Amino acid sequence: MPNREVTKEDLDALRRIAAAWARVGAYLSTAPGVGPVDLEGLIIATARVAPDDERLFVVAASWLAAHHSFVNGRRLAVLAATLADEEGSAEASAVLGALLSWADELSGNAAEALRAATACCRPVRPARPLFRVVRALPSVAAQVRRDSLPRFAAWGLWHDGDAAKPEAVRPVAWIVAHAPELRIRALVSSETAASN
């Protein structure tokens, strides 16, 4: 599978997405965004760009493991199904599946809000390294293929990393103080608080 160049637009998208995660309590090397965050949209956007940023993928999975109760599972499932059916988004659907299933696993399989969306995701074929930087290095890609963890290989993605970053996730009190758009979700179920 050919490796594509990361464009200025890709880098801008990565910065915006990292800033949104920082706003909702993820420690990333960027200033928090200033506008409200559409959490389910952010998760989908993360799946699209995560192959360009391993730390973003790991921190997002760690955040979702800790704070899955903020997620509107029904809305995320609708967005995940749309992504799976969107032409040219096969890899993003697989990345989303890997992200959500790993977050559920990290939560001790308590992230029920993520499961319906995970079920909408599809593995990608042919299988490939999860991160584009690995794709550019054939010897590293061969090693990652050999050592790939089943949780990622099930999605057609090769990755051998197993380290979450729970220390890169702020507590609920910080989130509700700095992301007022999520306050209502802290008080009531996100299933009823978020609009569809």
User: Per the structure, how many domains does the chain have?
Assistant: 1
Q: Is residue 120 part of a domain?
A: yes
Domain coverage including residue 89: 8-127+166-193
pLDDT tens digit string along 183-194?
Answer: 888 776 544 444
Residue 33 located in a structural domain: yes
pTM of the entire predicted model? 0.91
Residue 155 is assigned to a structural domain of this protein: no
Tens of pLDDT along 112-161? 899 999 999 999 999 999 999 999 999 999 999 999 999 999 999 999 99
Q: What is the DSSP string of 62-120?
A: HHHHHHGGGS-HHHHHHHHHHHHHSTT-HHHHHHHHHHHHHHHHHTTS--HHHHHHHHH
182: nearest Cα among 69, 99, 76: 69
